C-alpha cells in the first residue's frame, strides 16, 4: 500500500471516519485466509505536535512490515487521546470495529466477547515477553485480552531555579514537607507552586497517585472497589483544607488538565507537579532546569508507585485473527518496542526491551521510572466496569477539593456507581 493511499484513512471528524469504515472494513467472523487482507487499526497519538505524531512511527513500522509480508496490508489511523476511546466505542457499537485498536481500556469489550485473547494471536515467545505485572493487568477472568502497548510511572518534578529562588533546599518527602515547599514558592511569587490537574483529561491518574500516597487506592487486595475508604476520604480532606484551600495550587484543580499543567511547567511557571517520562523532553525544550524525586506520601515517600498502561486489542468482527497475530508479533519485536519507547520517553512493556534500555546509558534518564515499573500499582483495568468508573472520576475529581466540598459524599457517590456498574456487567 502506498503512503498516499494510506493517508486516505487518517484523522478527521467522526462522521468521515465512520463513512470510511463502512466502505473499507471487511465483513463477518471466522478466520480470513484467502487473498490479500487489509487490516484496519485505530491508534492514539503520543506526540505533542505534527512533527512527532505517532502517525510517523506507525507509517515506518507498517512499511517495514509490509515489505516482509506481501499478503497483508495495514492501514493505521491515529487520533488524539481526547477522541480515540470514544471513536472506537462508537465504531464497535455500530458493528464496524477496527481489526486492532490501541486505546486506554479493553475489559468492557472483552466482557462482551468482542476480542481475541492473547494466546489466539501471539506466538508463545511474544506473549511470554510481556512484563508479568502488565500481562496480569491485561487479564479478565484469568485470560489475557489486553496487550500492553506503552507504560509509564510517575515521579515528582520540581523546578530547581524556582526552588533556589524560594530557598527550598531539596524535594519534599512527605505531604507536610510538600505543603511547606509550596508555601515558600508562593511567598517567592511563583504563579503555581504546585500544579494539581484534576480536570477531565487524566484526573483518574492524579486521583490515584494521591490515594496511594495516603494509604488507599481504587481497590483493595481482593480487587474490590474501596473508593470511599477512610484513607481516601482523609486524603482529599487534607488536599481541600491544607493545600488547595491554602491557595497553593494557583488555580482551580478541576479546571486544569494534565497537558496544560505540563505546558505551564515547561514555561517555568510551576514549582512542582507529578509527571511521567514525556515531561522531561518538554521541560528541556522549554529550558527548565528540573529535578525528579519519588512522590511524597502522608508520612514520607509514597510506599507504592502508580503505573499506567495503554492497551492494544484485536476485535473478532472482521475475522482476521491469523493476519492480526502476524502483525502483532512484528509490533512486539524488541527493536520496535524499544523504538517507540525511546521516541516518546515511555517505558517498554516487554522484558527484552526493558533489559536493553536498562543496559543502555543513553536511556539513563528513564532508569528511575523503569525501576518503579515491576512493583507498580495499576488502574483496575481488568474490571469491566473500569471504563465507566474512570469517566465518573474524571467528571467529579475536581469537586473533591473545592472550598466547602464534601469528599466523603463525592467518593461515596462514585463508589455506589462503581458497585452498580460492576454488578451490571457480571
Domains annotated for the chain, with CATH where assigned, are 3-152+308-378 (3.40.190.10), 155-304+385-424 (3.40.190.10)
pLDDT reported for residue 31:
58
Q: What average pLDDT does the structure give for the chain? A: 90
- How many C-beta neighbours within 10 Å does residue 381 have? 23
pLDDT reported for residue 366:
92
pLDDT reported for residue 279:
93
pTM score, two decimals?
0.81
Measured distance between the N- and C-terminal CA atoms of the chain, rounded to whole angstroms = 43
pLDDT reported for residue 19:
36
pLDDT reported for residue 425:
58
pLDDT reported for residue 24:
38
Q: Position of cell 483493595?
A: 220
CA distances from 342 to 271, 289, 310, 350, 408 (A): 27, 21, 16, 14, 41
Nearest to 253 by CA among 67, 245, 59, 332: 245
Contacts of 296 (CB under 8 A, 6+ apart): 156, 172, 173, 174, 175, 177, 178, 213, 302
CA distance 172 to 105: 33
CA distance 283 to 290: 8
Q: Left if phi > 0, otherwise alpha if psi is -120 to 50, otherwise beta: which for 102?
A: beta
According to DSSP H, which parts of 267-303 are helical?
278-285
Nearest-5° angle of CA 54, CA 131, CA 349? 10
In this prediction, the residues of the chain whose per-residue pLDDT falls under 50 are 1-30
Nearest to 276 by CA among 209, 345, 359: 345
CA 355, chain centre distance (Å): 22
Amino acid at each position: 500500500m502506498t503512503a498516499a493511499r494510506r493517508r486516505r484513512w487518517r484523522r478527521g471528524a467522526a462522521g468521515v471516519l465512520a463513512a470510511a469504515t463502512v466502505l473499507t472494513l471487511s465483513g463477518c467472523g471466522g478466520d480470513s485466509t484467502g487473498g490479500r487482507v487489509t487490516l484496519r487499526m485505530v491508534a492514539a497519538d503520543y506526540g505533542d505536535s505534527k512533527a512527532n505524531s505517532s502517525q510517523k512511527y506507525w507509517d515506518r513500522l507498517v512499511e517495514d512490515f509490509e515489505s516482509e509480508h506481501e499478503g497483508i496490508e495495514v492501514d493505521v489511523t491515529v487520533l488524539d487521546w481526547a477522541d480515540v476511546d470514544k471513536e472506537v466505542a462508537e465504531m464497535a457499537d455500530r458493528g464496524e470495529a477496527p481489526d486492532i485498536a490501541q486505546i486506554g481500556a479493553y475489559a468492557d469489550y472483552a466482557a462482551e466477547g468482542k476480542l481475541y485473547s492473547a494466546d489466539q494471536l501471539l506466538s508463545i515467545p511474544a506473549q511470554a515477553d510481556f512484563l508479568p505485572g502488565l500481562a496480569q493487568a491485561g487479564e479478565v477472568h484469568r485470560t489475557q485480552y489486553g496487550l500492553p502497548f506503552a507504560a509509564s510511572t510517575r515521579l515528582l518534578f520540581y523546578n530547581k531555579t524556582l526552588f533556589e529562588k524560594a530557598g527550598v533546599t531539596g524535594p519534599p518527602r512527605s505531604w507536610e514537607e510538600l505543603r511547606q515547599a509550596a508555601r515558600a514558592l508562593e511567598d517567592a511569587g511563583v504563579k503555581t507552586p504546585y500544579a494539581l490537574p484534576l480536570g477531565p483529561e487524566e484526573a483518574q491518574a492524579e486521583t490515584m497517585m494521591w490515594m496511594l500516597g495516603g494509604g488507599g487506592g481504587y481497590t483493595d487486595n481482593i480487587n474490590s472497589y474501596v473508593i470511599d475508604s477512610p484513607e481516601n476520604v482523609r486524603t482529599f480532606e487534607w488536599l481541600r483544607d491544607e493545600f488547595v484551600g491554602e491557595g497553593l495550587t494557583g488555580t482551580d484543580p478541576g479546571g486544569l488538565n494534565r497537558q496544560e499543567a505540563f505546558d505551564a511547567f515547561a514555561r517555568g511557571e510551576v514549582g512542582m507537579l507529578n509527571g511521567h517520562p514525556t515531561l522531561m523532553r518538554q521541560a528541556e525544550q522549554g529550558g527548565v532546569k528540573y529535578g525528579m524525586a519519588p512522590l511524597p506520601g502522608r508520612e514520607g515517600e509514597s510506599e507504592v508507585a502508580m503505573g499506567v498502561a495503554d492497551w492494544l486489542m484485536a476485535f473478532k468482527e472482521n475475522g482476521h485473527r491469523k493476519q492480526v497475530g502476524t502483525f502483532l508479533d512484528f509490533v512486539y519485536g524488541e527493536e520496535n518496542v524499544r523504538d517507540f519507547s525511546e521516541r516518546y520517553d515511555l517505558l517498554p512493556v516487554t522484558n527484552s526491551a526493558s533489559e536493553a534500555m536498562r543496559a543502555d546509558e543513553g536511556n539513563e534518564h528513564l532508569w528511575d521510572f523503569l525501576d518503579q515499573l515491576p512493583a507498580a500499582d495499576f488502574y483496575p483495568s481488568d474490571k469491566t466496569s473500569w471504563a465507566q468508573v474512570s469517566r465518573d472520576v474524571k467528571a467529579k475529581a475536581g469537586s473533591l477539593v473545592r472550598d466547602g466540598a464534601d469528599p466523603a459524599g463525592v467518593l461515596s457517590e462514585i463508589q455506589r456507581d462503581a458497585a452498580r456498574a460492576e454488578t451490571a456487567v457480571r
